[in-house]
């Protein structure tokens, strides 16, 4: 039998818990300063037509744009 919500709240457990978006959790990391890191796109296939310089640049990670940070942080609340 599941415990009632009032019993859990007395114990200090808050309900309901937020669900993490698992796709976002695999794609983004949050730094200690609160910035959100991401990988660059277009580096998985059809690489023959892309220049070496372009592919080298795509290897580097980067940060998410400031406008998108609140949305992503809502998707990964416990990261």
Looking at per-residue pLDDT, the higher value among 14 and 67 belongs to 67
pLDDT of residue 1: 61
pLDDT, one tens digit per residue, over 7-62 is: 777 777 777 889 999 999 999 999 999 999 999 999 999 999 999 999 999 999 99
pLDDT of residue 72: 97
pLDDT of residue 11: 75
Q: What is the pTM assigned to this prediction?
A: 0.75
CA proximity to 36, closest of 12, 4, 68: 68
Q: Which two tokens stand for residue 35?
A: 């910035």
Q: Which residues contact 52 (CB under 8 A, 6 or more apart)?
A: none
């Amino acid at each position: 039998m599941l415990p009632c919500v009032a019993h859990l709240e007395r114990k200090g457990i808050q309900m309901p818990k937020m669900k993490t978006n698992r796709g976002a959790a695999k794609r983004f990391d949050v730094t200690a300063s609160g910035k959100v890191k991401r990988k660059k796109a277009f580096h998985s296939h059809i690489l023959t037509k892309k220049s070496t310089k372009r592919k080298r640049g795509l290897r580097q990670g980067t940060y998410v744009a400031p406008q998108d940070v609140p949305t992503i942080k809502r998707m990964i609340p416990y990261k």
